[in-house]
Structure 1
């Protein structure tokens, strides 16, 4: 039933889809609805991450790292001009991995919120 809702998430990859299915296994309908509401608000679209990485490479080094909550790396990129632009280029190439790793953390946080709300 909620498979359609997972597929409606913008830019969802098969890897993220299978991760979501395994993470939400065993939740009832209300918990799934709550999870989707919380997760969809926290999730980063890989296309958006590509845009952040390009803007980071051209104008604000480390922007993509700040967006995914890696403040230390963001400051390092900012001070070293994207690790002499090499790190920024690598982030452009690996934008899907950055988004997926961030989304994995958001799945965990969203699951914790769902479990806490339904003692």
Structure 2
């Protein structure tokens, strides 16, 4: 029913698509629209995450961690040159998982905000 709306998200993976379907199960059409409006602003595209990881490797160690809200890890990467470059290289390899984990947290936050907006 709402498949086209989920597919409009740039760079959506089948895993994220399935997660979104399960998370929004039971919401009406208006709630799904509200959810998608909130979620699309918080979500990180895996392609963008790869770009952040490469910039984190070459210019600003830890940039990718700051972008996804892991401030402590970002500071650690910054002061240790990306954990001697090893951590930054691992993040490049795992950029899709970094984006998906961040997006899972944003799904939860967006659902909470959607549910709270219905009570007011």
| TM-score band, normalised by shorter chain | over 0.9
For residues 35-46 of structure 1, the aligned pairs below 5 Å read: 35-46=35-46
Aligned residues: 119
Report the alpha carbon displacement of residue 66 of structure 1 after superposing the two structures with TM.
0.2
Q: C-alpha separation between the residues in 2 aligned to 1:43 and 1:2?
A: 18
TM-score (norm 1): 0.99
SS in 1 for 2:5: helix
Q: C-alpha separation between the residues in 1 aligned to 2:62 and 2:52?
A: 9
| 1:79 corresponding residue in structure 2 | 79
Report the alpha carbon displacement of residue 75 of structure 1 after superposing the two structures with TM.
0.2
Write out per-residue CA displacement over residues 58-100 of structure 1, whole angstroms, 9 at most, x where no aligned residue: 0000000000000000000000000000000000000000000
Q: C-alpha separation between the residues in 2 aligned to 1:108 and 1:44?
A: 14
Q: C-alpha separation between the residues in 1 aligned to 2:54 and 2:92?
A: 6
| 1:4 corresponding residue in structure 2 | 4
Report the alpha carbon displacement of residue 8 of structure 1 after superposing the two structures with TM.
1.1
Q: C-alpha separation between the residues in 1 aligned to 2:7 and 2:29?
A: 17
| 1:15 corresponding residue in structure 2 | 15
SS in 1 for 2:25: coil
TM-score (norm 2): 0.98
Structure 1 residue runs of 5 or longer lacking an equivalent are: none
| 1:100 corresponding residue in structure 2 | 100
